[in-house]
């Protein structure tokens, strides 16, 4: 078993890195679909993501592996939980990008590692070291500062952070008993009826459904988003099987860095001084968290 630990860790890191790099590019993809309602975008994202999952299961011939999962209430419960929270995350994020609030959405993913370690304390009974508590304190202070800047709590950021942190926890609790492909197939399959309802509701609005009415490339964009939904989630599922929760939190830095950079350099969103202060506190907290992580990794291992 010990001889497999290092390659498994490397495999988890490479898949996790790929997942977060793809997620970081999503503002560009979603902006290309700005002709459609955010609810239609998410609905097609679910449907085409599910189609990709079914194709992958057919290729790998792993249909038979689905039944044992569905017969285990505990595993199914965590899959239902992960499905619920990833749906919240998807919808909130697409709305944030569509309404030009990419800076706030990046804040959600910046504070995500801090929320993740809090969940590790509550649900996994991990004990935080003093520097980890200090990092959480910086994050909490940043939320207060940014609340004054926005004139409200940064709800989009908080919802994104909480939903994805709980999604990561649910994946961790599966303990590698469900393959990444099967997990995504079940999650997206459970969401297909929700997507159908969303499409029905959007069709009754003044905007209506745009799929199939905006040319080949517009429709292809929906399909591409479905593919890009399936691939990083499957990669994330593989990474969660092989990496400790703290490593997952560390890799999460990549996505908000890319989102924040795109918000400023491509979409030219405003960053007043108070917002810089709030983000600075978050980054300081993450620097403390990273320092503690490296110190812990260098410390001699005890029995």
In the Cβ-directed half-sphere of 5, how many Cα atoms lie within 13 Å? 4
Statement: residue 220 has pLDDT above 50: yes
For the segment 190-207, what is each residue's pLDDT rounded down to a tens digit?
999 999 999 999 998 887
Rounded CA-CA distance 149/18 in Å is 34
> 297 exposed, middle or buried (CB, 10 Å; 0-12, 13-18, 19+)?
exposed
pLDDT, average across residues 74-85: 87
Mean pLDDT highest for which of 33-42, 225-234, 287-296?
33-42
The reported pTM is 0.83
For the segment 233-289, what is each residue's pLDDT rounded down to a tens digit?
778 778 877 887 667 767 778 889 999 999 999 999 999 999 999 999 999 988 888
Mean pLDDT highest for which of 67-76, 79-88, 179-188, 233-242?
79-88
User: Is the CB of residue 241 less than 8 Å from the CB of residue 12?
Assistant: yes
DSSP letters, 96-126, are HHHTT-HHHHHHHHHSHHHHHHHHHHHHS-P
Say which residue the tokens 């490397």 belong to.
10
User: Is the CB of residue 48 less than 8 Å from the CB of residue 223?
Assistant: yes
Rounded CA-CA distance 149/57 in Å is 47
Per-residue model confidence (pLDDT) at position 175: 67
pLDDT band at 181 (very low <50, low <70, confident <90, very high): confident
Statement: residue 6 has pLDDT above 70: no
Rounded CA-CA distance 146/143 in Å is 5
Statement: residue 1 has pLDDT above 50: no
Statement: residue 303 has pLDDT above 50: no
């Amino acid at each position: 078993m010990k001889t497999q630990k290092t390659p498994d860790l490397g495999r988890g890191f490479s898949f996790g890195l790929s997942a977060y790099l793809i997620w970081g590019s999503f503002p560009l993809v979603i902006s290309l679909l700005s002709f459609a309602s955010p609810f239609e975008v998410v609905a097609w994202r679910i449907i085409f993501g599910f189609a990709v999952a079914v194709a992958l299961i057919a290729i790998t011939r792993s249909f038979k592996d689905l039944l044992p999962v569905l017969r285990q209430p505990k595993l199914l419960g965590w899959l239902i939980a992960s499905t619920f929270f990833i749906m919240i995350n998807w919808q909130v994020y697409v709305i944030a990008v569509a309404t030009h609030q990419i800076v706030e959405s990046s804040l959600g993913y910046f504070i995500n590692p801090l929320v993740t370690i809090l969940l590790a304390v509550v649900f996994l009974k991990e004990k935080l070291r003093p520097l980890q508590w200090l990092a959480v304190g910086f994050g909490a202070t940043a939320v207060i500062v940014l609340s004054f800047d926005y004139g409200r709590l940064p709800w989009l950021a908080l919802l994104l952070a909480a939903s994805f942190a709980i999604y990561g926890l649910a994946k961790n609790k599966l303990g590698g008993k469900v393959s990444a492909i099967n997990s995504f197939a079940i999650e997206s399959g459970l969401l297909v009826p929700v997507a159908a309802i969303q499409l029905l509701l959007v069709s009754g609005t003044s905007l209506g459904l745009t799929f199939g009415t905006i040319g080949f490339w517009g429709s292809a964009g929906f399909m591409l988003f479905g593919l890009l939904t399936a691939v990083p989630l499957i990669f994330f599922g593989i990474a969660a099987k092989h990496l400790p929760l703290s490593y997952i939190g560390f890799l999460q830095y990549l996505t908000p860095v890319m989102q924040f950079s795109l918000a400023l350099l491509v979409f030219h969103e405003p960053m007043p001084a108070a917002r810089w202060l709030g983000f600075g506190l978050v980054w300081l907290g993450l620097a403390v968290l990273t320092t503690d992580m490296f110190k812990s990794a260098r410390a001699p291992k005890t029995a």
